[in-house]
Structures are given as C-alpha cells and as structure tokens.
Amino acid sequence: MSDSLEVVARPTTGTRESRRLRRQGFVPAVLYGHGEKCVDLATRREALEAVIRHGGRIVELKGAVKTSALVRDLQWDTYGVQPLHVDLVRVDKTERIKVRVPLDLRGEAPGHRAGGTVNMVLHEIEIECTPDTIPEKIHVHVGKLDVGGMIKVHDIELPAGAKAVTDGEETAVSCTVTIHKTDEAAPAGAAEPEIIGRKAGEEGEAAAGEG
C-alpha cells in the first residue's frame, strides 16, 4: 500500500525561495520522468518524514499533481535530521524499475560463535521489480555462515518477482578469522637487558682495567 503525499506547486525556484519554504515547514521537491516535463513542487516536512518513517518508496501524489511517484533521492541537512530536498520520479505500477534496497542481517552465524568476525561487505544492493513490490529491506540470513565462508549476492533470497541488478558474484557478507595480538613489538631504541650480577661501578672498573 502506497503512502499519499500532498504537494503544492512551486512557482519560483532558487536558494532564497527554498530557504523561505523550509522556514515555513515545507520541503522543496521536483517531479520528473516518463518523458514529461519537470514540475517544481513542495510538500509539508511532517508528511514527508512520516513517509520516510514508514519506509515508503512509492507515494501517491495529491494536490497540485496526481500521480504515482518513486522517492528517488533525499537530501538531508548537515546533521541528517531534516530533509532539505526530495526528487520524485513518475512511475507506473505495472512497469519494472531499478532501486537500491538496504540489506539486513538475520540470525547468528556459526562462524561468529566459533570466534570469527561477521563482515557486512555490502550495505545495499540494486534490484529490479515493480513499484508495488519494493521491499523496505532485504533480509540476509547468516545461520549457515562459517568462518572463512561468504554470502554472495546470488545467494540472497529476493522478494517474488524481483531480480538482482548488482553483480551476483559480489560478496555481500563474509566471516573472517579474528586475529588476536598477543606479543607487542619492542619499541625502537629499547635498552638492552641489564646483565644480572654486575653493578654499574664494576662495569666502569672492568673497562678501566682493560685499558
């Protein structure tokens, strides 16, 4: 089920206008795709943040524009707290599109219990699917991952009808041997160990006797 997003027309653009909109609680947006002209829009920040919290990728635009759209790109402020701009792409629910979806590890790897380290090599992969089947996350089950093993993209179970665009031979998750450092290297220029049983004064006398 798609989230709905109310949008209003943005007659003027530019940095000053964008700042004014943000002060009023709006987020500037642009809608493009399907060979149609770009449309400058704006939407309430609270409404967009609600879509993001739901993990929504497809939205039903209402208001100034009525169409289905994919949330293609989000720009955030320096602290990653507030959205500053959003790119929307027109979509048809029957067409297949390419999107990047985050990976989510599930289960406990036997290799981890054996002392290995589970490494998440890829944090997301690109898939091709219809707009209404875009998953929020793709789960990667590591219940059979041993030390020295790996899970490649082609090993990941995708939603029905989805196809991986990322190279299937790419490693998504691996489990490597954990190396523990036991001996610290001696610092450069370290003094040689003192000879037990000989005092400093005796060393000086011995040297004088040799001379």
When pLDDT is averaged across residues 81-103 and rounded to a whole number, the result is: 91
Q: Residue 162, Cα to own-chain centre: how many angstroms?
A: 20
CA–CA dist 11, 103 (Å, integer):
39
**Does residue 203 carry a pLDDT above 70?**
no
Task: Please check whether residue 85 is in contact with residue 75, taking contact to mean a CB–CB distance below 8 angstroms.
Answer: yes
Residue found by looking up tokens 């000989």 in the block: 198
Residue found by looking up tokens 């002060």 in the block: 23
CA–CA dist 49, 60 (Å, integer):
15
Q: Is the dihedral of CA 196, 201, 207, 209 positive or negative?
A: negative
**Does residue 195 carry a pLDDT above 60?**
no
> What are the CA-CA distances from residue 122 to residues 150, 153, 161, 165, 196 (Å)?
12, 9, 22, 14, 57
Residue pLDDT, tens place only, 128-170: 999 888 888 999 999 999 999 999 999 999 999 999 999 999 9
Task: Please check whether residue 91 is in contact with residue 69, taking contact to mean a CB–CB distance below 8 angstroms.
Answer: yes
The reported pLDDT for the residue numbered 174 is: 97
* pLDDT band (50, 70, 90) for residue 194: low
Q: Which token pair is 194?
A: 């003192």
Q: Looking at domain 3-91, which CATH architecture does it have? A: Beta Barrel (2.40)
Q: Looking at domain 98-176, which CATH architecture does it have? A: Beta Complex (2.170)
The reported pLDDT for the residue numbered 187 is: 55
CB proximity list for 180: less than 8 A, separation 6 or greater: none
Strands 3-9 and 58-63: parallel
CA–CA dist 137, 103 (Å, integer):
6
* pLDDT band (50, 70, 90) for residue 106: very high
When pLDDT is averaged across residues 77-105 and rounded to a whole number, the result is: 91
The reported pLDDT for the residue numbered 185 is: 52
More confident of the two residues 205 and 163: 163
Domain ranges of the chain: 3-91, 98-176
**Does residue 124 carry a pLDDT above 70?**
yes
Quick one: 61 exposed, middle or buried, by C-beta within 10 A (0-12, 13-18, 19+)? Answer: buried
* pLDDT band (50, 70, 90) for residue 180: low
